[in-house]
Each structure stands twice: as C-alpha cells, then as structure tokens.
Amino acid sequence: MEFSTKQMQEVWEWAVPAALEYGSNILEALIILVVGLWLASWLSGAARRTLDKYKRIDSTLKPLFASLIRYTIVIMTIIAILSQFGVQTASIIAILGAAGLAIGLALQGTLQNIAAGIMLLILRPFRVGDFIDAGPVSATVDEIGLFTSQFTTVDGIYVSCPNSSLWNSKITNYSRNNKRRMDLVVGISYEDDIGKAVDILMGLMQKDDRVLKDPAPQCMVTTLGDSSVNLTMRMWALSSDFWALKWDMTRWSKEKVEEGGLSIPFPQRDVHLIPAPTDK
C-alpha cells in the first residue's frame, strides 16, 4: 500500500504535535516516577532509622511503619502519573476508598486485632516473660504479635489469645514491679499469748534475707475469727523471690508457732443440747 505525498503530509502534521504533546507528558511522568520511588525509599528508610532510636517501640512495628510510608507514597506517585495523561484521578480515589471500606468491613475483627496489637506493642502494658492476668488469660507471655499473643500457663499449656480480647480487658501484670507485698494470715487460739505470737512471727520475718527491710515487715492482729485470733504477717519481697518466700513462710510460721507452745486452732463449734420437755 502506497501513501501519497498528501497523506504523508497529513500524518506528519498530526504526528509531530502529538509526539511533542505526549512526549512531554511521558517525560514528566518518568520524572514523577523516579522522584516518587526515590522519595518513597528515602522516607521509609528515614522512618526506620528514626524508630530505631526509640527502644520502647517494638521491632515488629518498625518495618510495618516503614512499609506503610513507602506504599502510601508509591500509590500517590501512580495517581500523579495517571493525572498526567488526563485520567480522572478523582474516580480512582473514590474506587480505592470504596474498596478500602469494603475490605475494612470484611476484615473488621482482624483489623481490631491489628490495632490492638499495635497499641500493646507501643504502650507495653506487658513484655515477653511477664506473668499477667488479662481477660481469659492467666499465664506467662511468650510472644506479642500483630494478630495474636502467645502464652504458657503455670501448668505448661500453650495459649493463643486475640489481641483485641487482651486490649479490651483489665490487665494485671504481676512481673512489672520489682517488688511485691505479701500478707500471710496465721491464726492462734484465744487462750494463747498474742504478744508472744507477734514476737515469734516478727523474728521469723526479720531473719530471712529475702524479706526487704524497707518497707519494714509488720505483724498485727487483723481479725477476731469464730475460732481463732488472726494475725497478719506483712512483708515486702522482690518479685523473683515472692512465691518461694510465700511457701517457706507458710510452712515455717506453723512450725515456729507450735515450737513456741502456741496452737493454730481448727474451726470448731460448741453445740449445747437442750433436753426436750417431758410430759407430766
């Protein structure tokens, strides 16, 4: 097929302006692409380096935030490139918004777990190795993830709990503070010498190095029970020594009280029999 001179002239007259117009658009699009990719890489790296300076932020979150910044800038770059070629970006943004809303509604529970996981990692109400009581969990923390957290109970059972359940419940962290108070109740008979019992129990606490001197240990009468006078041994100990000290003090308090000639009464009840009246 041969083109006439006139046809060639028409094609040339159309191609040159089109090449100039679209060539400049392509060049500008390439510049926007290069600058956008460079900016996304630089900002994500800067965010990562900045987050590395904060020890409170978990290492799990650092790549997440960096990736979020990177992909946000990449999406904005793509939208800017499409606008260079006359594409209506408003409709694209609307479609992306509608898609994001649909995905958010479909993954509502999952997004709640992610949000709760981020808050747990930032605020750190507990750390790996802590023993906590939170909602359905009473165990030692093994791992804190974005979706779920893993625990091991005192009897060695593995537990995986959604982060939203933890975040929406009261969290009691038994390992957070380095020292804890212990109240141990010891009952003596009403016939026993209260002062002697206090001296025995105070001496027991003062001789144990695991009992902290500040705050000082105390022993006081707290209740007058149905069958006993109840004395409370109050002492402070390091969290690492708490349970071993509690078990030892429970045993030794009984032994020392009995060695001192005092007794630990068991519940008892006096029954008075009233004879039934007899018919005369």
- With beta carbons less than 8 A apart as the criterion, state whether 221 and 204 touch: no
Q: Tell me which residue has tokens 């001496």.
A: 203
Domain ranges of the chain: 12-106, 125-173, 179-259
Give residue 223's pLDDT.
Answer: 92
Give residue 87's pLDDT.
Answer: 63
Give residue 219's pLDDT.
Answer: 94
- With beta carbons less than 8 A apart as the criterion, state whether 175 and 130 touch: yes
- With beta carbons less than 8 A apart as the criterion, state whether 255 and 201 touch: no
Which residues touch 41 (CB under 8 Å, ≥6 apart)?
70
Residues 84-115: pLDDT tens digits? 666 666 666 666 666 666 655 554 556 787 78
CATH code of the domain made up of 12-106 = 1.10.287.1260
Q: Tell me which residue has tokens 């932020």.
A: 57
Residues 226-259: pLDDT tens digits? 889 999 999 999 988 999 999 999 999 999 999 9
CA distance 133 to 157: 15
Cα–Cα distances in angstroms (integers) from residue 175 to residues 47, 129, 182, 271, in the given order = 32, 8, 14, 48
CATH code of the domain made up of 179-259 = 3.30.70.100
Q: Decide which of 2.30.30.60, 2.40.128.260, 3.90.480.20, 3.90.110.10 is the CATH code for 125-173.
A: 2.30.30.60
Give residue 41's pLDDT.
Answer: 85
Ranges of the chain with pLDDT below 70: 1-25, 55-64, 84-110, 268, 279-280
The residue ranges of DSSP E strands in 178-227, in sequence order, are 179-188, 218-224
Instruction: Give the chain's largest Cα–Cα span.
Output: 150
Give residue 263's pLDDT.
Answer: 86
Give residue 210's pLDDT.
Answer: 94
Give residue 1's pLDDT.
Answer: 47
b/e 41-57 (16+ beta carbons within 10 angstroms → b): eeebeebbeebeeeeeb
Give residue 198's pLDDT.
Answer: 94
